[in-house]
Chains A and B, each alone.
Chain A
Amino acid sequence: MEIKKLASAGTMESSDAYVEIEPATGLEITLESVVSQQFGDSIRQVVRDVLTEQGVENAKIRVVDRGALECVIRARVETAIVRGGN
């Protein structure tokens, strides 16, 4: 899927994640999380997995994690992709 415009999903509330996506060349993932030392690699992997599943090869994506579980991060990244691709 081609990301055509800046889009966002999620909130800054506890247990949620806020995700922004915008057009770019190649993939660039930025993560802000209080647990990035412990779980940063696995959160980035989840983001990469969703980008792959959705066929996104070019995008700049920023994730602000507020203690979200994997299923929530997946959902917010997917929503941002869908919104950015429309």
Chain B
Amino acid sequence: MRRSMLFLPGNNPNMLINGNCLGSDAIIFDLEDAVAPDQKDAARILVRNTMKYMDFRGCEIIVRINSIDTPYWKQDLDEIMPHRPGLILVPKTCSAADVLEADAYMTQVEEKLGMEKNTVGLMPLIETALGVENAFSIASATKRVKALFLGAEDLTADLQCKRTKESREIEYARTRLVVAARAAGVDVYDTPFTDVNDDEGIQVDAALAKALGFTGKASISPRHVEVINAVFSPTQKEVDYAYEVLEAIALAKEQGKGAISLYGKMIDAPIVNRAKQTIAMAEALGMERGM
């Protein structure tokens, strides 16, 4: 379950070591934008040692490596992959060829380490116009791809438009990524909301992402994590309804009926699937049926 993902700068020990106390389902150790070029070595070594010696139980570790057009990314993978991060976030992924290049090197590293292929998942960061247009081929390029991730700051620079709180400039990219990811059968994560002091703004932005079909949302501030978790968690009403749907379907089967309605609405396969997803998430969150 990844409702929230919190970026932490890879060369900041104070933030790294407290990463699992900040409430997010996943933390992203950032070796890319948050690290100055002359500190890439220090960040890589610090993240490696933090992953090796610290226990982040209950919080998935994701590492954003440097992009494949830099001299850093292979060494990032060499040092990070032995510590089995949940996912590697690959920035500036523009095409299936980029994914295949990263995948091929990750496979080499896994072979060298005696790890099973695809032990470490890959999450392409889509933050260019070309990446958005190639979203489905990126998402379906290899089985290693577990999710797509939208990065709106670089994307809007590439689109030559202003990044705004209303986010109309990324509407197309958001919906395109959701459709591409779902068509490929992988998850999809929304870009961070960058005004750390706008509590109302993060609520609206996260709710929009949820409504569009995103699996979860990234954050650059611990302040946003609680809101994101709440938005991407099922409500008690949704959980109760999901149980009622499964009961109604079970009753229909018992009675030999092909179709059944609940509160005047026909229950069909997509509703049943959604109910199962809701209950699975509720169980993961320790939520019980209300009444």
Contacts and interface: CB of A to CB of B under 8 A. Distances in A.
Nearest to B15: A15
A58 to B, nearest CB: 22
Contact of B54 (A9, A14, A71, A78): A71
A69 interface: yes
Given A70-B53, A71-B54, A78-B49, A9 B14 contact: no
B278 to A, nearest CB: 39
Nearest to B46: A75
Interface in B38-64: 41-42, 45-46, 48-50, 52-54
B52 A82 contact: no
Contact of A71 (B12, B14, B41, B49): B49
B17 interface: yes
Contact of B14 (A10, A16, A76, A78): A16
Interface in B2-55: 12-14, 17, 41-42, 45-46, 48-50, 52-54
B235 to A, nearest CB: 38
A15 B49 contact: no
Given A14-B14, A15-B14, A16-B13, A71 B50 contact: yes
Nearest to A50: B49
Most buried by A among B13, B45, B50: B13
B45 A13 contact: no
Nearest to A72: B13
A68 B46 CA distance: 12
Interface residues of B, number: 14
B52 A71 contact: yes
Nearest to A14: B14
A65 B48 CA distance: 20
Interface residues on A, range: 10 to 19
Interface in B141-195: none
A13 B49 contact: no
B13 A15 contact: yes
Contacts of A4: none
A74 interface: yes
A5 B273 CA distance: 63
A74 B13 CA distance: 12
A69 B45 contact: no
Nearest to A81: B45
A72 B49 contact: yes
Nearest to A17: B13
A13 B54 CA distance: 20
B100 to A, nearest CB: 31
18 contacts: A10-B42, A13-B12, A13-B13, A15-B17, A16-B14, A68-B13, A69-B13, A70-B53, A71-B49, A71-B50, A71-B53, A71-B54, A72-B49, A75-B45, A75-B48, A79-B41, A79-B45, A83-B41
Interface of A: 9-10, 13-16, 68-72, 74-76, 78-79, 82-83
Given A78-B49, A79-B42, 7 more contacts: A13-B14, A15-B17, A71-B53, A72-B49, A75-B13, A75-B49, A79-B45
